[in-house]
Structure 1
Amino acid sequence: MSPAFRVAGRINRPVHEVFEAVVDPAQLSGYFTTGGANGRLESGATVTWDFADFPGAFPVQVVEVVPDQKIVLHWPAADGGADSGGSYDTKVTMTFEALEDGRTLVSIAETGWRDTAAGQKAAFGNCEGWTGMLCALKVYIEYGINLRAGFYK
């Protein structure tokens, strides 16, 4: 069975504000892409994300964007070296649900790793990364704090 996961968290802001904090590269760079994000997340676009803990810009293919509801991305699997059968992409699906109390439920699922030890390790690493992203998003959008500033350097 191929590794896959889903993480979720509630953000105390309206869905549109939370969605914009993810699709807008300036905001995303303020709490998640510690090396910067280049390009707005729009259907059909390819943008780049750079992280201080994994230097070098990653290409991110934006497959689908439904405003205030869903973002579907493809990006390189962390275990795609020559020893593991070559490079390949995983699929990331983010959903945004407006809750009755004014908060937003953000869910992030990632699928598509190979069913190998390297694939399992990469999936666990990305699960940790997406959980950190949700925590950083919450603190950034609710309190204006960049939780990841200085965390990796």
Structure 2
Amino acid sequence: MEVNFRVSGRIAKPVEDVFEALADPEKLSQFFTTGGAKGRMEAGKTVMWDFHDFPGAFPVYVIEVVPNEKIVFEWAAYEGDSGKIGAKHGEADYRTTVTFLFKPTDDGRTLVEIIEEGWRETDGALRGSYLNCEGWTGMLCAMKIWLEHGINLREGFYK
């Protein structure tokens, strides 16, 4: 069984604005990375994302960027509570691949699709994929409300 998922949503903003909300660390920090983001999403770069609800900044390895179309990156696989000594809570010893696709719609909105894949075929990996699927769905909701209405949906949500 291949462990992966795909979530999507539509945002009532042009594709350029939606793409920049992920690519620009200052914008990403306004609605998603509650502890801040450092580094622009550019192919071959390693950027840092930090979350108050998941302590400690961690690296995001940017693999591919096609402006206004696609951002692909890898990060440490999350398998729930792995129990590994020396690992961050739930962090496994391999990476998953996350692909963001940005597609303009006929009515001026942007369809955002997020695909995450590459988990091992274990119970922990399956659990981790469910948790990340939930996380990316929340991220899409936060992105939508921030871009369309200027509200940080995550502010105070995890405290």
Q: Shared fold (TM-score greater than 0.5)?
A: yes
For the aligned residue pairs, the C-alpha RMSD in angstroms reads: 1.5
Shift of 1:53: 1.3
Q: Structure 2: how far apart are the matches of 1:101 and 1:66?
A: 22
Match of 1:54 in 2: 54
Q: Structure 1: how far apart are the matches of 2:21 and 2:157?
A: 20
When normalised by structure 1's length, the TM-score is 0.96
Identical counterparts, % of pairs: 59
| 2:22 is the alignment partner of 1:13 | no
- SS of alignment partner, residue 119 of structure 2: coil
Shift of 1:81: 5.9
Match of 2:118 in 1: 112
Q: Structure 1: how far apart are the matches of 2:127 and 2:157?
A: 22
Match of 2:66 in 1: 66
Q: Structure 1: how far apart are the matches of 2:23 and 2:104?
A: 17
CA contact (8 A) 1:81 1:87 kept: no
CA contact (8 A) 1:50 1:56 kept: yes
- SS of alignment partner, residue 106 of structure 2: coil
When normalised by structure 2's length, the TM-score is 0.92
What are the ranges of 5 or more consecutive residues in structure 2 without an aligned counterpart? Answer: none
Amino acid at match of 1:28: L
- SS of alignment partner, residue 126 of structure 1: helix
Amino acid at match of 1:45: K
What are the ranges of 5 or more consecutive residues in structure 1 without an aligned counterpart? Answer: none
After TM superposition, the structure 1 = structure 2 runs for residues 2-151 of structure 1, keeping only pairs within 5 Å, are 2-79=2-79, 82=84, 87-151=93-157
Amino acid at match of 1:61: Y
